[in-house]
Amino acid sequence: MSNFDYLQKLNVTGDRIVDYTFYNIGGEPTFQVRPATESNKPYFNAMLKRSRKMARVIASGNINAAHLDQNRDNDRDLFPKHVIVGWKNVVDNEGNPVEFTQENATDYLSKLPNWILDDLRNFVATPTNFAETEVDVGELAKNS
């Protein structure tokens, strides 16, 4: 019988934290983030709870720009609670460093333009950005 346990190394866990840098913002603020996927159970459950109403709207075919804005606003609220765990190089209007708190992160995201927020949302929703390692099958063959 074959053994494919090596594939388990590719699982993404909700506690995996990586850096996401805003290269299009001066000073290159960097967030330490967890995945916004089903592997992050607190985020995923909160998102599903908020999505029930949206699911009905999508099923009815009556989605509009306001619904998309609501979806973004949900993430503006949920990310500081479940996805963003820290930051570096974040400053206020006077250039003073800002301590990471859930409240400060919520305020920062509330001011972030949609197109930049969408880039962050796409990054944290992509499991490969959080993959622990690639599996080198050639190395596995040498070790057997």
Q: What is the pLDDT of residues 12-41, one digit of tens each?
A: 877 889 999 999 999 999 999 999 999 999
pLDDT reported for residue 129: 92
pLDDT of residue 41: 94
Question: Which residues make Cβ contacts (< 8 Å) with residue 101, sequence separation at least 6?
Answer: none
User: What tens digit of pLDDT does each residue of 104-120 get?
Assistant: 999 999 999 999 999 99
- How far apart CA 73 and CA 14 sit, in angstroms, is 22
> What global pTM score does this model have?
0.81
Burial of 4 (0-12, 13-18, 19+ CB in 10 A): exposed
Angstrom distance (rounded) from CA 11 to CA 131: 7
For 107, phi and psi rounded to 5 degrees? -65, -45
